[in-house]
Each structure stands twice: as C-alpha cells, then as structure tokens.
Structure 1
Amino acid sequence: MAESKTAVIAALTGNAALAVLKGVAAGVTGSVAMLAESLHSVADTGNQILLFVGLRLADRPPDRPHPFGHGKNVYFWAFVVSMLLFSVGGAFAIWEAVRKILQPGVHTASLRLTYSVLGAGFVFELASLVIAYRSLRHEKGEATFLEYWRDTRDPTLLTVLLEDSAALASLVVAAVGIGLHHVTGNPVWDALASGVIGLVLIGVAIVLAFETYSLLIGEAAPEDVEAKIRDAVLADEAVTGIAGLYTMHVGPRAILVVLEVRFRRDLTMPALEAAVRRLQDRVREAVAGATQARLVAIEPAPADESVGRAA
C-alpha cells in the first residue's frame, strides 16, 4: 500500500495549506463560495489524516481479538471519510448557500485576493491529483481505470483521486460564481456556486460510501484472482477436484480463502496433511502474497467421480 500512502501524504500537505489560505480569503471577502471551498479543504485535510490513520492501523499484526488481522481499518476509516465529506463538506456548503440567499449580508469584493487563492488552490490540487494518478497507474498496471475500480479492494487511492477531482471542479465553480457576482452585483451567483460545490461533494461522498460499505460487509476476491487459486489447487497431483471456493477480503492485501477440495482416495493421512500444507503455499503464491497460509482453510470434500479434475 506504499502508493496509497504517498498519495495520502501529498493530498494532506496540499489541503492543509489550502485550508488556511481559503479561510483567510473567505474571512476577508465574505464570499460564501470561498467559505464552501475553505470547508472543503478542512474536510479533505481531516479526511487525509483519517485515511493515513487507517493505513497505519491496518499494518498491525494479528492478535487474539483480531485473528485475521486489522486490515479492515482501511475500510472503516474510508467510510468515516465519506460521512465527513457528506456532512462537513457537502451539507454545510448547501446550508451556507441557502442562508446567503435568504440573508445576503455584506460582501467585500477583493477579486485579486480571491482569484490568487483560487489559482494557488488549483495548482496545489492539480499537483496532488497528478501524484495520485501516477500512483494509480503504477497500481493498476495494464488494466483500464474501470477494471481497476471493479477489482481493487483498497479504497484509499480512489478516495484521494475522487477528492482531488472534486476539488478541482469545485475551484472552477467557485471562480465562476464569484466572477458572476462581481459582474452582476447579484450575490445569488456566489450562493449558487456554494450550493453546486456542496452537491459535488455529496455526490462523491455517496459513491465512496457505497464502495466502502460493500468492502466493510465483505467482498469476494476478483474473478481473476479466484481463477488463479483454482488453477493452483487443481495443478496439484493430490487433488481430483474442487467442490467449493469461498473468498473474502479482510483487508486490501489480505484474502480469507476457504476451499472444499476433493483429494485422491489413496492418500494416507500424512500424505493428506502434506498436501494441505502444500496447497496453502500454492494459494499464497498464486495471489502474489495477498494472503497468508493461516488465512487459507482447506477442507477435504467427499469424492465425486462425476465431477473429476475439471470442477
């Protein structure tokens, strides 16, 4: 998960600086769109901290209360991030938009400061997005983006990528809204920009929430990974077939594997025990170390001559 950590640290550094800059600009100008942007950066900063916490906690070794390890910390904290993005970022931005429409108040225009901050924000967010995208390219290999999205069981990198993309879109919306307010003198444009930013953040939060919810309740390994497991098991001379294969990710790099295997009838007990240990190692090698022998449970299944090795 080194690529995920790199992307998180880059995003954290940029968002922390932007939260301060945008907050100052919002206080000076009174722009509700700029306030929405500052809240967005505050939320993103907190989110990156939580993602980093999740990555660190997931690295802890298994213990008695958590025999399968702590990998699901990544999923839990990513889900918390989606909730914060929804509430602190999206819902509050929409609330401020409504309040500004109902009570316009005083707005001190300072376009030079406003657009300087927005420009700096765009540069920071673009740099963070480039780093996240490079990490994504390294992780996905030759797979397409949609294939990676479907098959990955690590939401951290996607969370950073979506947050950075939403941040860039929000900066453009804020610039347009503030500009139209300046040209027309109508503060509704500024408020509408804040509302659009809130909707963008809520949309991203919902996508992330559904993705991490699925991981929290337990997702199977991708089909190609299960196919590799089947091939590795069936290649063993002691195996005549597979009655069942069940997998579940208990972390981005930890797969629980349960196999119901049909062994040759002539195997002695010592030979059967040796075959089970051998299969555990084969499975671990087949998934490139994304599991451990203790996470591979192999249960001998009754022989079924009609199924054979093609099961």
Structure 2
Amino acid sequence: MTEQTKDDNKAATKKVIYAAVFANLGIAVAKFIVAAITGSAAMMAEGIHSAVDTGNEVLLLIGEKNAARPPDQAHPFGYGKVVYFWALIVALSVFSLGGGLSIYRGVHGLIDPEPIENALWSYVVLAVAAAFEGYSWNLSRLGLNKYRKDGDNLWQAVRASKDAAVFTVFIEDTAALAGVLVAAAGIGLGQLFDNDLFDPAASIVIGLLLVCAAFTLARETGALLVGESIGREETGELREIINADPSIDKVTRVLTMQMGPDEVLLTASVQFRRGMRIDEVEQAIERLENAVRKHNPAVRTLYFESAALRSSWT
C-alpha cells in the first residue's frame, strides 16, 4: 500500500468521524431543548444517545491521532492498535451511558409518567435528526465499501472491515436512525391512544438498541484488539502465493495479524529447497515479499522461518 493510498484512507476515515461529530452535537442540543419543552422521556433518551455519540467520535479522533505515531523502541510494530482500544472504550460508553441512562429514564417514566406537551417540536427535531444521521450513515457506508466484496451485505462488510473508526460510526448511526423511528413511534402512539406510557417505553427500547449496538462493537473491536487475522480466505491466498514460488518445497504454516486498519503482520514457516545457497535464499525471500505485498499491500511486516535450513546448516 502506497503512502498516498494510506493517507487517502485516513483522510476518508476522519471525514466520516468529523461529519458524525458535528451532526450529533447539533442534534443533541436540539433534542435536549425539545425534551425540556415537551417532557418526553423518549426525546431525553435520544438526547443522551446523541450526546454520548458526540463524545465517542471525539474519542475515535484521539485514537486516530495516536495511531499515526511512528514505530519506536517501546512499540516497534507501531501504534495502529490504539484505534481498536479507543473503539472498545466507545463500546463501553455506548453500553453504560447511552443504554444505561436511556433505560433508567424509561423506567422512571413508567413509574411516574408525564404527559407530553407541544409534541410537534419533537417530530420536527426527529425529522432533522434523521436527515443528519442519514448523511453521516451514508458516509460511513461508503467507507465500508472498500472492504465489501461483490454480493456481500453491509453486515458482512462490517465483519470484514478492519477500520474500527468507520464501522463504529456506521453501527452508531444505524442505532441512531432506529432510535429516531422508535422515539417517533412512542410519541405518536402515546398521542393516538392518549396513553403516557408509550413514550417511556420507547425510551427503554432505545436503551436496549444501544446495548445491542454496544455488544456488537465490543465483539468486533475486541477481536481486532487481541490479534485478529486478516481472514481465512485471504490468508489461504497468501499461502498459495508463497507455495507457488519455485524455491519453496512446502509451506508449513502462515499466520497473519491485523496491526491497524491498513497494516498487517505476516509470518510464514516454510521449507526451502535443499541445496540452496545463502544468496539464493535471500533472492527468494525478496521475491516472496514482493509477491505478497503486490497481492495485499497492507502486509507491511513479513517474517519467514525455515526449520529445514536451520537443521541443514547446523
């Protein structure tokens, strides 16, 4: 992967995050104002949701900035996984602050329901929120497309994506759009049936949506943080490329680890042909490195191990 391509990917990721920050900040303020005017528990839950999302995107920007630091003696493989750490923190905040507070607010509303006043303002703000969230959602969807293969749906693209910042915004925005619909339904049903319990019930549903989103984020980012591979299919293709080189008798094992959104570590245990000279082995390794990087430019660090050569030279 060229430095230009890597910079373009980072710029696209930051665009997604900045769009989400500004959208959620404005929406959060509007939702809190309307919640105070109308007394709607669902609107309060939506305000909490948008406020938490705003803070989360700031955390992702911190992660992106720290991940850009060059390798040093303490972190010889770089800081790419910092993004995954902050994305995991985001998942925890979505669960505790977003989901927990929304559910608490809903339960409180069920115990002591309050009538909704001036509901029209709620609908106006929810409509505006849906427009802004939809714009941010579409940007994150486009960011996922670079990991999306022909025939894959968006969920498969999320599972395949290694850019935690992009898929975090996508999952958050998906939950936000669903929350807008739930809030509107809760307020509307409350007016239709003249029942004040629909609104706090909607707040609880919004909280449960956020809890589900948080678990999804935690699972995806946690797997990347502890050392997820680039995938069985891609690893198999790299194994075939290595095995196809004329200097290789046998490929014993190929291991990969995602070190960041655009960085992969590869180790391969191979058996070179017996009788090869040192210079021939060096040429073969250089040839293999070029072939691997041509197939997958994200492979930035490669290690080859040959037990057969060790035994023949000792």
**TM-score scaled by length of structure 1:** 0.90
> Match of 1:299?
305
- What do the CA deviations read for 1:146-171 (whole angstroms, capped 9, x no partner)? 54334322232222222111111111
> Match of 1:307?
none
> Match of 1:77?
86
Alignment match of 1:20 (pick from 18, 29, 32): 29
> Match of 2:152?
144
2:135 paired with 1:131: no
Provide the C-alpha distance between the structure 2 equivalents of 1:37 and 1:251, rounded to a whole number of angstroms.
32
Q: Does the CA contact (< 8 Å) of 1:90 and 1:197 recur in 2?
A: yes
* TM-superposed deviation, 1:180: 2.6
Q: Does the CA contact (< 8 Å) of 2:161 and 2:167 recur in 1?
A: no
User: What is the CA RMSD across the aligned residues, in angstroms?
Assistant: 1.9
> Match of 2:278?
269
Provide the C-alpha distance between the structure 1 equivalents of 2:260 and 2:220, rounded to a whole number of angstroms.
14
After the TM superposition, which residues 3-152 of structure 1 pair with which residues of structure 2 at under 5 Å, given as runs? 3-104=12-113, 106-107=114-115, 109-145=117-153, 146-152=155-161
Which letter maps to 2:269? E
2:185 paired with 1:176: yes
Alignment match of 1:242 (pick from 251, 254, 277): 251
- What do the CA deviations read for 1:216-239 (whole angstroms, capped 9, x no partner)? 111112123213322332232322
Which letter maps to 1:74? V
* TM-superposed deviation, 1:143: 4.9
Which letter maps to 1:203? C
Provide the C-alpha distance between the structure 2 equivalents of 1:147 and 1:42, rounded to a whole number of angstroms.
28
* TM-superposed deviation, 1:108: 5.2
- What do the CA deviations read for 1:200-228 (whole angstroms, capped 9, x no partner)? 11111111111111111111121232133
> Match of 2:6?
none
Which runs of no fewer than 5 residues in structure 1 stay unpaired? 304-311
Q: Does the CA contact (< 8 Å) of 1:32 and 1:100 recur in 2?
A: yes
After the TM superposition, which residues 221-260 of structure 1 pair with which residues of structure 2 at under 5 Å, given as runs? 221-260=230-269
Provide the C-alpha distance between the structure 2 equivalents of 1:281 and 1:208, rounded to a whole number of angstroms.
35
Segment drifting more, 80-89 vs 226-235: 226-235
Q: Does the CA contact (< 8 Å) of 1:136 and 1:157 recur in 2?
A: yes
Which letter maps to 1:300? S
> Match of 2:5?
none
Which runs of no fewer than 5 residues in structure 2 stay unpaired? 1-8, 310-314
* TM-superposed deviation, 1:119: 1.2
Provide the C-alpha distance between the structure 2 equivalents of 1:143 and 1:184, rounded to a whole number of angstroms.
44
Q: Does the CA contact (< 8 Å) of 1:263 and 1:301 recur in 2?
A: no
Provide the C-alpha distance between the structure 2 equivalents of 1:197 and 1:14, rounded to a whole number of angstroms.
19
* TM-superposed deviation, 1:107: 4.2
Q: Does the CA contact (< 8 Å) of 2:148 and 2:160 recur in 1?
A: no
Q: Does the CA contact (< 8 Å) of 1:30 and 1:108 recur in 2?
A: yes
After the TM superposition, which residues 201-212 of structure 1 pair with which residues of structure 2 at under 5 Å, given as runs? 201-212=210-221
Identity of aligned residues (%): 37
**Per the alignment, in what secondary structure is the counterpart of residue 308 of structure 2?**
coil
* TM-superposed deviation, 1:124: 0.9
Provide the C-alpha distance between the structure 2 equivalents of 1:252 and 1:270, rounded to a whole number of angstroms.
35
Provide the C-alpha distance between the structure 2 equivalents of 1:188 and 1:98, rounded to a whole number of angstroms.
10
